């Protein structure tokens, strides 16, 4: 299992209450795409949240800098299972990613 199925179900329910979305396998996990942008994702038992590069406060809320190998994923944070175990915290993090995705213009279709 590349990602926590229970967390995926909780995130799916939360995103569904906020916006239309699609799911896409990505980074060895699962990404939730809103308005053509990745809003949140799951890898192993951790939530990945797209917070943008201007949201420095995100790291103060229990999240950490997200890395893929040696590379820092700018604009993304990882939120550990110890934080997302709380439903209110999970909803807040998911809403943060969804709000950012909805605020950006959709990407043009690929040719």
Distance CA 21, CA 35 (A): 7
Please report the DSSP string for 68-80 in residue order: ETTEEEEEEEEE-
- Count of residues for the chain? 111
- Range with top average pLDDT, 12-16, 43-47, 50-54: 12-16
Residue 24 has pLDDT above 60, yes or no: yes
Distance CA 2, CA 100 (A): 26
Both structure tokens of 70 = 């040696």
DSSP 86: S
Q: pTM for the complete prediction?
A: 0.91
Domains, the chain, ranges and CATH?
5-103 (3.90.1150)
Q: What is the pLDDT of residues 60-73, one digit of tens each?
A: 778 998 888 899 98
Q: What is the pLDDT of residues 58-106, one digit of tens each?
A: 777 789 988 888 999 889 999 999 999 999 999 999 999 999 999 999 9
Would you say 71 and 57 are in contact if contact means Cβ atoms under 8 Å apart? no
């Amino acid at each position: 299992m590349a990602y926590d199925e229970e967390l995926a179900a909780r995130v799916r329910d939360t995103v569904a209450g906020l916006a239309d979305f699609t799911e896409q396998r990505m980074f060895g996990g699962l990404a939730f795409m809103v308005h053509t942008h990745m809003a949140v994702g799951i890898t192993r038992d951790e939530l990945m949240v797209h917070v943008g590069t201007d949201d420095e406060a995100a790291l103060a809320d229990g999240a950490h800098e997200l890395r893929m190998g040696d590379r820092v994923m700018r604009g993304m944070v990882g939120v550990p299972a110890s934080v997302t175990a709380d439903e209110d915290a999970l909803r807040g993090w998911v809403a943060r990613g969804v709000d950012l995705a909805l605020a950006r213009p959709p990407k043009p279709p690929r040719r």
